[in-house]
Copies of this chain bind each other. A is one copy, B any other.
Amino acid sequence: MNIKPIHALLTVLLASQISFAQNTPSVVKEDFRPSSVNQPGKQYPQVNSEGRVRTSITAPEANKVQLDIGGVKYDLVKDANGVWTGESAPQDEGFHYYQLNIDGASVPDPGTKYYYGAGRWGSGIEIPAPDQDIYALKDVPHGLVSEVVYFSKITQAWRCCIVYTPAGYETNANVRYPVLYLQHGSFEDETGWSSQGKANLILDNLIADKKAVPMIIVMDNGYAFKPQEGENKKPLLVFEEVMMQEIIPMIDSRFRTIADKRHRAIAGLSMGANQTLRIAMNNLAAFSAYGGFSGTANYPSADEIDPVTFLDGKFAEGKAVNQQLPVFFLSLGTKEPNPFPGSVGAFRKMLDKQGIKYSFYESPGTAHEWQTWRRSLYQFAQLLFK
């Protein structure tokens, strides 16, 4: 996989979130409540019913404090006690990364829990969404989220894999389960899906409602590099090799999986959608379902795809693809910026042209962000292993 477009993608990502930016919010609705992802006991940041984010921090000697969210920096105002407070324009529903800027220093807001995204551990905020019930912590049986540490011979490094096992896994000792391999996006890591992605809660709820079958979900880190010899040799991205030769065999030996194509799915978001599509197409004997959330392997191009040359002709025979991948799922948020609508659109056109069947889900009112991907997982998981 070509990793050059990653920096371009990040720029796009940040720029994409400006949608509602206003420099002078006119009338601000005073119904702010602490964000649901604040640290215990912290009153700020807060969110109001318009989706504005208000934060507050003591910085008596500062000259300028800003709330930096969705690609826009909002000036906070200092009171007589040296406490700076202010709010953003309304944000899209769902989860957003953000930070504070204190006299030019970009730092996490000390009020929130921290999440890995945008290449750093930093602050997150949750804007209530009308469908938040799908990822709510409810009175249903809950699965486990476990950290598996393993040494990768290919990359010569210790790696960490997050594994969701559904409720009942520990006590139903004779039951074996299908597995979904689920990947994060660029500048994120293996923690994203079970933390800000709420993959475990989405599955707990779907399984309790009998909308999805109990399954194991494996979330690993898409940045897997093989050290190269010689002075100017750049490390080689070898995630596919690590997935096929190390992660899957390890999961199949350590967990009670059903270790066959029919019971193995793979999906990812953005960069992860790109990576996992390539892995699925290169290893059709291993996977029977693919999910690409907000990303495709032709990224960032919106040009027409030639199925004879694209991915070494893997899509040249539409009928074969339909047989090999009976579940083929794509998704996009309605507010996603370029190049996503263009490149996903070109990919869909190619699928249509080849007669390849796929499901397409559009997340209403969301951009290239986690609310799109939570909803995508909610839809995709219902199609699996049935």
Contacts and interface: CB of A to CB of B under 8 A. Distances in A.
Interface of A: 39-41, 57-65, 82, 100, 102-108, 110, 113-114, 119-122, 137, 139, 142, 144-151, 158, 163, 170-171, 173, 189, 253-256
28 contacts: A39-B120, A40-B189, A41-B119, A57-B107, A58-B104, A58-B106, A59-B103, A59-B104, A61-B104, A62-B62, A62-B103, A63-B103, A100-B107, A102-B102, A103-B103, A107-B108, A108-B110, A108-B114, A110-B120, A114-B121, A142-B148, A142-B149, A142-B150, A144-B146, A144-B148, A144-B163, A146-B147, A171-B254
A255 to B, nearest CB: 6
A145 B146 contact: yes
Contacts of A255: 170
A145 B147 contact: yes
Contacts of A254: 170-171
Given A58-B106, A61-B104, A102-B107, 10 more contacts: A39-B120, A57-B105, A58-B105, A82-B104, A108-B108, A113-B121, A137-B149, A142-B149, A145-B147, A170-B254
Nearest to A106: B110
A61 B63 contact: yes
Contacts of A173: 173
A147 B163 CA distance: 11
Nearest to A113: B121
- Counted per complex, copies of this chain come to 2
Nearest to A59: B105
Given A113-B121, A121-B114, A60 B149 contact: no
Given A39-B121, A120-B110, A59 B144 contact: no
A341 to B, nearest CB: 31
Contacts of A82: 104
Given A137-B158, A146-B145, A149-B142, A60 B103 contact: yes
A121 B148 CA distance: 23
Contacts of A158: 137
Task: Tell which of A65, A113, A144, A173 has the most Cβ of chain B within 10 Å.
Answer: A144
A277 B73 CA distance: 51
Nearest to A64: B61
A65 B62 CA distance: 10
A333 to B, nearest CB: 27
Which 3 residue pairs across A and B have the least CB separation, nearest first? Answer: A59-B105, A62-B103, A61-B103
A173 B255 CA distance: 11
Contacts of A147: 144-146
Contacts of A145: 146-147
A189 B40 CA distance: 10
Contacts of A113: 121
Contacts of A148: 142, 144
Contact of A102 (B105, B146, B171, B256): B105
A370 to B, nearest CB: 19
Max chain B Cβ within 10 angstroms of own Cβ: one of A119, A146, A150, A254: A146
Contacts of A40: 189
